[in-house]
Each structure stands twice: as C-alpha cells, then as structure tokens.
C-alpha cells in the first residue's frame, strides 16, 4: 500500500483555533498522517490532548523543542517529515516572525527547517488585519513561492467586530490541503485565465415549473478551485447552486445565471479574456415554447408541451474563439460513453472533451466523486478512475498541460 500523505499542522494563538480541530480529524479519518505543533499562545485556546486525540499522535509544544528524535533535533525531523505545512490560525505575531525569517519557538524553527509548501490561514481582529505593518508582512511573505494563502473572510468576529478577519472555514482549508498535496505547490497555471461553466440551467414553463436536470455544479466548482490553487485567474459562470457551495468560491469571479440564454450571454461576454474555456455545465437542449407570466392552474397545464431550441453555447464558443484559445467540453453519458463523446468532440470543434458516466454508482450528478475519460483532438485518451471531483479536476489540468494546451 502507498504510504500515507504527511501533513503538519501549526496552531498559533487565536479563538479560531477551534475550527482547525475538524480539519485535523477529517485528515486523520481519511488516512493521512497528521502531526500538530502548538505555540504557547495556541495552547491557551486548544489543549494539546485535544489535537493529539484527533490526530491519533502526540502533539508537540515548545516543551518538546529540544527533544531529540534518533539523535536529531525535533524541528529538523518534523521539517523533513512534512509534505505540507499548514498554519491555521495564523496570528499577527507568527505572521511577523515568518515575514522576517525569525525563529524563536518550535513552530517557526520547523518552518525554517522545512522545504515543503506552507498553507497560511490568517485569523485576527479586523483592525489588526488592516494595520499597515500586518499587510506589509502579509504581502512580503507571499512573495516567497513556498507560501500559499487562504485570505480571511468577513463577518461577525469573536470580538463582536464586523469586518474582515475570520479564518477560512474548515471545508475550504481541507480543499486547499488536498490541492497542494496533489500539485506539490506548483503554480503551473499562473498567467492563464480560465472561463468555466457549471451546474444546470432552468427553462421555465411558468414561475414555479421548469425543465431542468440534477447537475449540482460541484464538478465545475472543483475545476475552478483546483485551477485557482494552481495560480490561474478563474471566472465561473454557474447555474442555480446551493448557498453552501456558493460560499466556497472565494477568490473566483462568479456570474450567476438561470437559463441557457443567460449562460450563453455570460460565456460570450467573458470569452475575450479567456485562455481556456471549459463547458462543464449541463445546459438544457430545449425550453418550453411559451412561458406563462403567472402560475398555471393544474387544469390549464398543456397536455403536450411545445418545445423550442435554446442557443448551442459550445458551437458558438467554438466559432467565435480566437486561435490561441482552447475549448474543452464535457459529455455526461449513459452506457458506452466514448462514441458519443468522440462525436461531440469532432462535431463541436472542441480541443478536448471529458466523458463521464452518470449511470454508475458513485459518479455523475450531485455527488462528491466522479470518474471519466479525457479525449483530445490529438488522439490522447486518459482514463480517470473513480476519485473525488477535486482530484479529477487536478488530473484534467495535469493532462491538458502535458498535452501542450
């Protein structure tokens, strides 16, 4: 069996430390090897016993600083052991130390003794976060390519201040962790602007009835997140999505639409600045020929429903794109997924297409996992076995980069 991936979590002082407990627990339950280092201030909020229990491994504090492991200092052992280092919450104090290369405790010494990517999730009072010195330290630190960030969010803070300073939510931290474990911290999409569509469209018969499909938008969201974590600028055009999913799109420019015609306009409007265009949305093929302005009574519903065509978004994008732009489609299929995907690849003038089965358990609409086959115009064929949608997104980006897109 493959050795488990190795994540070192650093906890500095802040009430947001409670949020990292669910991250530690989720990683350990998923089979990853997790180690935790607490600063003295971090221990004031979370006891070492708590994180040790969640990580299934003793926690480290400054009391262990000079503890020798097989004759070597602990911070050296931990720094060499980690594949990824996560500091959450990142306090203003620890941020200042990292920005200036200072090391006066176990955590900061371990950072300097490591070479792996470091993910930072700041958390502090709004006025502290907005101080010029703190912002200067933050931007200075992020000039180092080792450091990756999840900016703090806005809301009501524990100090009752309303503003920016909330640590990122555990789900977003976990997503970024898995992205960095896959990419190793590579920013191989820097300089690219990706235009991605996702979710379903709704074509209304009246204000309460519509033709639609079960697409949740999770696959396109995963594509957008994976691209963002690898340095791309991302515009996501999405159909109706759950509010909990929308809340996880920080750092991504979003355009919310409902109908196929609205998606058509949004994709064409944002087309000029895109390098890669990815049509992951499940767009309706037809709509009711007429739409009632008020709810139809049951007795007034038509016995047969006249239908009208909606715009062929992929075909229009293919015709109007510039030579340097790459167009990637999706094909959700039942049965043998390859022939219809190859037909769509050629007929629509795509550069690549991702064919995924929707009649196989654990893949397709609504779930967190998927599987697919990536086909390119050059004849490449990459099977993507069952995995999380985030992992599938990374494999798609890997394959397209390898193919020279």
- pLDDT above 70 (res 69): no
Interatomic CA distance for residues 227 and 182, integer angstroms: 12
| Binding site per annotation, positions for CTP | 285, 295, 311-314, 330, 344, 348
Instruction: Give me the mean pLDDT over the 358-384 stretch.
Output: 91
- What is the model's pLDDT at position 3? 87
| Range list for CATH 3.40.50.1950 in the chain | 6-183
Residues of the chain with pLDDT > 70, as a percent, come to 99
- pLDDT above 80 (res 72): yes
- What is the model's pLDDT at position 1? 61
Residues found in the chain: 405
Q: 193-402 has which fold?
A: Rossmann fold (3.40.50)
Instruction: Give me the mean pLDDT over the 210-216 stretch.
Output: 93
Residue-wise pLDDT tens digits, 75-84 = 999 999 999 9
Residues of the chain with pLDDT > 90, as a percent, come to 91
- What is the model's pLDDT at position 68? 67
Residue-wise pLDDT tens digits, 29-65 = 999 999 999 999 999 999 999 999 999 999 999 999 8
- pLDDT above 90 (res 354): yes
User: Which is it for the CA torsion 167, 171, 174, 176, positive or negative?
Assistant: negative
Domain range 6-183, CATH architecture: 3-Layer(aba) Sandwich (3.40)
Higher pLDDT residue, 95 or 71? 95
Q: Which residues are catalytic?
A: 159
- What is the model's pLDDT at position 162? 85
- pLDDT above 80 (res 146): yes
Residue-wise pLDDT tens digits, 254-265 = 999 999 999 999
| Binding site per annotation, positions | 285, 295, 311-314, 330, 344, 348
Closest by Cα among 363, 254, 372, 261 to 309: 261
- pLDDT above 70 (res 134): yes
| Range list for CATH 3.40.50.10300 in the chain | 193-402
């Amino acid at each position: 069996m493959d050795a488990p991936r190795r994540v070192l979590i650093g906890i500095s002082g802040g009430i947001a430390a409670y949020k990292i407990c669910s991250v530690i627990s989720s990683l350990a339950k998923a089979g990853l090897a997790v180690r935790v280092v607490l600063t003295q201030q971090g221990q004031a909020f979370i006891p070492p016993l708590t994180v040790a229990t969640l990580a299934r491994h003793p926690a480290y504090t400054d009391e262990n600083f000079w503890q020798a492991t097989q004759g070597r200092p602990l911070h050296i052992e931990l720094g060499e052991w980690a594949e990824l280092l996560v500091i959450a919450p990142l306090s203003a104090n620890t941020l200042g130390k990292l920005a200036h290369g200072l090391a006066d405790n176990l955590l900061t010494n371990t950072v300097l003794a490591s070479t792996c990517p470091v993910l930072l999730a700041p958390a502090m009072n709004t006025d502290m976060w907005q101080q010029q010195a703190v912002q200067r330290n933050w931007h200075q630190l992020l000039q180092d390519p080792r450091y990756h960030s999840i900016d703090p969010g806005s809301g009501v803070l524990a100090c009752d201040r309303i503003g920016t300073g909330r640590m990122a939510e555990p789900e977003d931290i976990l997503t970024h962790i898995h992205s960095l474990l896959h990419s190793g911290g590579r920013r191989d999409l820097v300089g690219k602007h990706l235009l991605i569509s996702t979710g379903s469209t709704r074509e209304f018969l009246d204000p309460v009835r519509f033709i639609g499909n079960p697409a949740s938008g999770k696959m396109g969201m995963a594509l957008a997140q994976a691209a963002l974590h690898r340095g791309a600028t991302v515009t996501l055009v999405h159909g109706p999505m759950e509010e909990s999913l929308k809340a996880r799109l920080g750092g991504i420019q979003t355009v919310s639409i409902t109908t196929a015609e609205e998606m058509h306009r949004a994709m064409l409007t944002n087309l000029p600045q895109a390098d890669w265009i990815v049509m992951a949305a499940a767009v309706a093929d037809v709509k009711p020929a007429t739409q009632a302005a008020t709810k139809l009574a049951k007795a007034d519903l038509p016995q047969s429903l006249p239908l009208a065509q909606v715009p062929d978004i992929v075909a229009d994008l293919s015709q109007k794109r510039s030579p340097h732009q790459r167009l990637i489609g999706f094909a959700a299929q039942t049965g043998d997924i390859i022939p219809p995907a190859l037909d769509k690849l050629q007929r629509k003038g795509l550069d690549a297409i991702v064919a995924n089965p929707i009649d196989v358990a654990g893949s397709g609409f609504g779930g967190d996992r998927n599987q697919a086959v990536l086909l390119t115009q050059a004849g490449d064929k990459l099977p993507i076995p069952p995995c999380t949608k985030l992992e599938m997104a990374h494999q798609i980006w890997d394959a397209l980069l390898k193919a020279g897109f």
